[in-house]
Amino acid sequence: MKTSDDHKTAQRRDATGGNAPAGQVAAIYVAPRSGAQMTPADAVNAVEGRGFEGDRYFEKLGKYSDVPEPGRQVTLVEIEAIEAVQREHGIAITPGDARRNVVTRGVSLNDLVGREFRVGDATLIGVELCEPCAHLVSLIGDKKVLRALVHRGGIRADIVSGGPIRVGDPVTVPSPLAGEG
């Protein structure tokens, strides 16, 4: 027998093209070149196979632009992870300090590695975890940030189909097929 919760879930899936809402975009950042400060943006255009217009990797000016491999187009991090680092470790870190393009709220990004998901009007595929690096230590000035963000530093993703992404847009994950999950 279907419950009202089942009906509400079906309505949410219908409204999101069969995808269950998982979270939302809390912030967006781009940097024009390697080492440049991350600049907040209200919206970006995600371009399939390239990244975000105006970002260092789209322009092929990122530190690893000469190393073509999957996962160089977009990076994402959970605001909850940044808040936990602040709370649990007393480290002063802002979402922009994390040097990720998209800051999400309410979605477990690690679960999206190997899966397609939608961010705004774009479809991404999670490629791998995006572990913290020595560059972050130089920005923050605290070596403890590496340990604090291990396995919660976000993910690297590629753009499967492009489109606009805005702050406040939903992050949606395809519903598991029967027999999955």
Dist. CA 105–CA 82, nearest whole Å: 11
The total number of structural domains that make up the chain: 1
Tens digit of each residue's pLDDT (9 = 90 or more) over 129-161: 887 776 676 677 667 776 767 777 889 999 999
Give me the percent of the chain exceeding a pLDDT of 90. Answer: 41
Residue 89 lies in a domain: yes
The answer to whether residue 17 is domain-embedded is: no
Largest CA distance in the chain: 57
Residue 46 lies in a domain: yes
Please give the pLDDT value at position 20: 62
Domain-located, residue 4: no
How far apart CA 41 and CA 101 sit, in angstroms, is 10
Range of the domain at 28: 24-172
CA gap 173, 52 in Å, rounded: 20
93-120 residues labelled b (16+ CB within 10 A) or e (exposed)? bebbbbbbbbbbeebebeebbeebbbbb
**CATH code at 86?**
2.40.33.20
